[in-house]
Chain A
Amino acid sequence: MRENPIKRLFVTNRGEIAVRVIRACRKLGIETVIGVSEVDRESLGAKLADRVVCIGPAPAAQSYLKGEIAVTAAKGTGCQAMHPGYGFLAERAGFARLCAEHGLIFVGPSADAIEAMGDKLRARKIAEALGIPMVPGTDRVAGSDDLVEFGRRAGYPFLVKASAGGGGRGMRVVRTPQEAASAFEAASAEARAAFGDSTLYIERYLERARHVEIQVMGDAHGNIVHLGERDCSTQRRHQKLIEEAPSPVVDEALRDRMAQAAIRLARHVGYTNAETVEFLLDLDSGEFYFLEMNTRIQVEHPVTETITGVDLVAEQIQVAGGAPVSRAQEDVRLEGHAIECRINAETAERGFLPSPGRIDTWQPPSGAGIRVDSHCYPGYFVPPFYDSMIGKLIVHGSNRAEALTRMRNALANFTIGGVATTIPFHQAVLAHPDFVDGRITTRWVEEKLMRELYQQEPVA
């Protein structure tokens, strides 16, 4: 096997994923340089990296979203590669192109593949052409009249979504004709602010569905393998809270059909590196529908790593350096069951209000089958400028029941002081018979659990 051309890698991200990338690089013998904002100088990523450069002030728009700064910093520190993590610059085709123009290996797919899949309407057209089923919906909508017309024809509720969107932003549920105008305005304003593109489209809002996604890994040699599914149905406002693998509602035959659809899509756009194809599984019809394809490593990648034994981040870096995917499809085995809880510095009973501040106590659980991915430590200050996720707790069990027990114990042994966290919320979910029995849908948290726990009504 030829030598990895990546000797030094620039991490253009923060938080737990920066730490995750640095750890993968250490394992591979690759040096790391991290670009940090002014408030992240004392972050764990900054402490672990071989070299730290300050890329700008705290607001992400002036630091973590500045592609030209990241490229200048990477070149100026002698890096050969750029890892964007997730969020920030990870799915900006222009950034991938800029890296290529400056001779940097972008750890991710080609700019063309990002472009094809980043525009959700374009991605839907590609999927449609490949015969992959999609949630019924529309092409671009011009105004709230189009929404009312769709509602009259297809019924309520439905979703209005940003074509350039992702992460639940630029998205609104429309439940009545009266909501159409405000939903259109809000989604389009949010989309313009977040993505610089206010194009919207409509998708039917399935009553009873689960979010199931397929992890795919491709390389420059034309190999594309899948690593099974993740079930991310425990969501609130389209933000994932808990993920697990395998899905409690997916059997071997369904997994295979979904995986083949995901691979077909990846092959069509010449996909290299790690990606995720998201589907909605309609529990009423048993049919699955293409949602979108994410051209990056995902937050919830550890559940897949846990049941397959594949280090996805290391794999990303090796594949970017020209290596083939390390496993053939027939060597991918799913062992046991994994669950991940996203630990956010938020107060669930107050509408998941962010709770930044100084962490005075940080005692993560440990033991067999327990993994914590985090950038936090005692005394760490959670800055108010970024995402409120402070860690991910992942457990592995030989089956789902064992994983559930292990997660309950791990949550009980996770002590965090100084900031409010979502640990009590996760404990409530893990204790709920609907979750234990695998009977939840993507709307369960908002429409049932929040009512039961905090008497909170769902909001659009």
Chain B
Amino acid sequence: MALTHDDVLSILKIIDESPYDEVRLEIGDLKLHVKRRGDSDSLVPVQTVSKSPERQGQGPAEQQRPAQALPPSAMPAHGEQLPIAPTGSQPLPEGLIAVRAPMLGTFYRASAPGEPPFVEVGDKVGPDDTVCLVEVMKLFHSVKAGVAGTVVKILVENGSMVEHGQVLVLIESYQRTPDAAIQ
């Protein structure tokens, strides 16, 4: 039987509103296994038979090294190594799209102090919706979602410095298109 994209969304919505953490659905030869994860309130739908890829304890949020200014005491002593910038290619959970900083700069969630943030976790966004700003020397660059979906996580504190390519926001995509935002 064919399962449409809308069907999946409906199923996810039902599960989201249910009190259960895990649902297994079997209709004929179709098996659907959905697990809810506490850390991000997100649903990670996985169409699976036996091996459901577990999100490792270290999601992108945990690997993220905060980029704000550190007091000298927060720096490691010489000889100890800080990990190399985390913006490389750690695997993202399936279905999540990373919105990355187009340049190094200061991350802002709203257009001005006191204004409401562009997005909150749970908001639905379209590809052209601005999710945040990155500022370099008073020049503000709006960062678009790049994809239609739901904001699942905002990884950076308002006002902190972000690196080129750093993951800022995670969006759960409606479309299963290749991850263009990562490139």
Contact = CB atoms under 8 A, between A and B. Distances in A.
Interface stretch (B47-55, B102-110, B125-133, B170-178): B102-110
Contacts of A76: 67-69, 104, 106, 160-161
A66 to B, nearest CB: 8
Contact of A73 (B71, B84, B88, B161): B161
A359 interface: no
Given A42-B84, A71-B137, A31 B75 contact: yes
A187 B106 CA distance: 40
A299 interface: no
Contacts of B67: 53, 76-77
B166 A54 contact: yes
B24 to A, nearest CB: 41
Interface centre among B72, B136, B160, B164 (most CB of A within 10 A): B164
Contact of A41 (B76, B81, B88): B88
Interface string B99-119: 000011110000000000000
Interface string A53-83: 1111100000100001101110111100000
B164 A56 contact: yes
Interface centre among A26, A41, A54, A77 (most CB of B within 10 A): A54
A56 B100 CA distance: 12
A73 B164 CA distance: 10
A69 B104 contact: yes
A54 B72 CA distance: 20
Interface string A353-380: 0000000000000000000000000000
Contacts of B1: none
Contacts, number: 82
A56 B165 CA distance: 8
Contact of A77 (B105, B137, B161, B165): B161
Contacts of A31: 72, 75, 78
Contact of A8 (B75, B81, B84, B136): B75
A55 B106 CA distance: 12
A31 B164 CA distance: 22
A47 interface: yes
A73 B81 CA distance: 20
Contact of B85 (A52, A68, A71): A52
A122 interface: no
A76 B85 CA distance: 15
Contacts of A26: 78
A63 B164 CA distance: 9
B96 to A, nearest CB: 21
A47 B78 CA distance: 12
A51 B164 contact: no
A256 interface: no
B71 A78 contact: yes
Nearest to B162: A76
A57 B165 CA distance: 9
B164 A38 contact: yes
A46 interface: yes
Contact of B104 (A7, A46, A47, A72): A72
A78 B139 CA distance: 21
Interface string A8-34: 100000000000000000100001000
A50 interface: yes
Contact of B163 (A7, A54, A68): A54
Contacts of B160: 76
Contact of A78 (B69, B105, B163): B69
Interface string A66-110: 001101110111100000000000000000000000000000000
B106 A54 contact: no
Contacts of A75: 69
B64 interface: no
A167 B88 CA distance: 34
Interface centre among B68, B70, B85, B105 (most CB of A within 10 A): B85
A73 B82 contact: no
Contacts of A41: 84-85, 88
A52 B136 contact: no
A57 B102 CA distance: 9
Contact of A69 (B69, B103, B166): B103
Given A68-B136, A72-B161, A77-B161, A54 B68 contact: no
Nearest to B82: A51
A60 to B, nearest CB: 13
B70 A77 contact: yes
A50 B69 contact: no
Contacts of B70: 77-78
A50 B75 contact: yes
B87 interface: yes
A73 B105 CA distance: 7
Nearest to A31: B75
Contacts of A52: 82, 84-85
Given A46-B85, A54-B87, A72-B136, 7 more contacts: A8-B72, A46-B84, A53-B67, A71-B137, A72-B104, A72-B105, A75-B69
21 contacts: A31-B78, A38-B164, A46-B85, A47-B84, A50-B78, A51-B82, A53-B161, A54-B85, A54-B87, A54-B104, A54-B166, A55-B163, A55-B164, A56-B104, A57-B164, A68-B136, A71-B137, A73-B104, A76-B68, A77-B161, A78-B70
Interface of B: 67-72, 75-76, 78, 81-82, 84-85, 87-88, 103-106, 136-137, 139, 160-161, 163-166
